[in-house]
Amino acid sequence: MPMSARDYTWLFTPGSTFAYESGTTGVIHVADGGELWLPTGRVVACDPFVCLGQDDVEPFTVGVEPGRYRVEAAVATLAQPGEPPSGDPHLRVAAARLVIRDEPTAAWELALLPGQDPAELDDEEFYGYGVDAGTGCFHDAAAGASFPVCEEDEGPLWDAFEGSDWAPGPHLVTAPETGHALAAFTSGWGDGAYPTWIGRTAAGEVTCFVTDFFVAPDPDGSAAATA
């Protein structure tokens, strides 16, 4: 079977803890990224440093009503056993969430692009977006072309991360000429491929989109493979 969704309610609960076999522990806090404008309701998740300014990034097949939706990140503070609190803690974004409804999630499904079929996935495989610059984002399908290609360390996306000393985020970045926006964040341990999940209520309404960066260990210790 393809990879299954994890307990994202737990992951987005402040104070949730986990531990690696090495003894390193993690404590979750939830970082608020503000409200993201989705003028068409067609959601894109991608590596913004690679994909911005390109017209070939497709939105997920499941959309939502146009509007403004809260973005937040489950950020893990990592520490060694007995290590005293640090003024410069080790932070990693464990997952990022685009909240559509503040209602309980009853079921999860893998967010898909056109042409992707979960039936073609092998055991523990998933569809996800590739990261080559250590970042991920959410934005509306209409927003991608509003941002310049990220070259020569310039542009509003660079400014947002550099102005925060490369804090994990989320960083809400607005294109000055169009008002389109994206919410960007660092991607867990860095480059790789990461799945996005869609939560639904018991009635089938979309509650959220969650990108998992595999920082918090799976409860069963299983490994992930990418398709």
Residue written as token pair 């003028």: 39
Q: What is the pLDDT of residue 225?
A: 39
Q: Are 171 and 161 in contact (CB under 8 A)?
A: yes
Q: What is the pLDDT of residue 151?
A: 56
Q: What is the pLDDT of residue 223?
A: 41
Q: Are 211 and 111 in contact (CB under 8 A)?
A: no
Determine the 3-state secondary structure of 154 from DSSP.
Answer: coil
How high is the mean pLDDT in each 10-residue block of the chain (227 residues)? 90 94 94 97 95 84 98 96 82 98 97 96 95 96 80 75 88 90 96 98 98 84 42
Nearest to 208 by CA among 97, 96, 42: 97
Q: What is the pLDDT of residue 40?
A: 97
In one letter, which amino acid is 37?
W
Q: What is the pLDDT of residue 153?
A: 63
Q: What is the pLDDT of residue 219?
A: 54
Look at phi and psi of residue 93 and say left if phi exceeds 0, alpha if psi is from -120 to 50, else beta: beta
Provide the token pair at 152: 């020569």
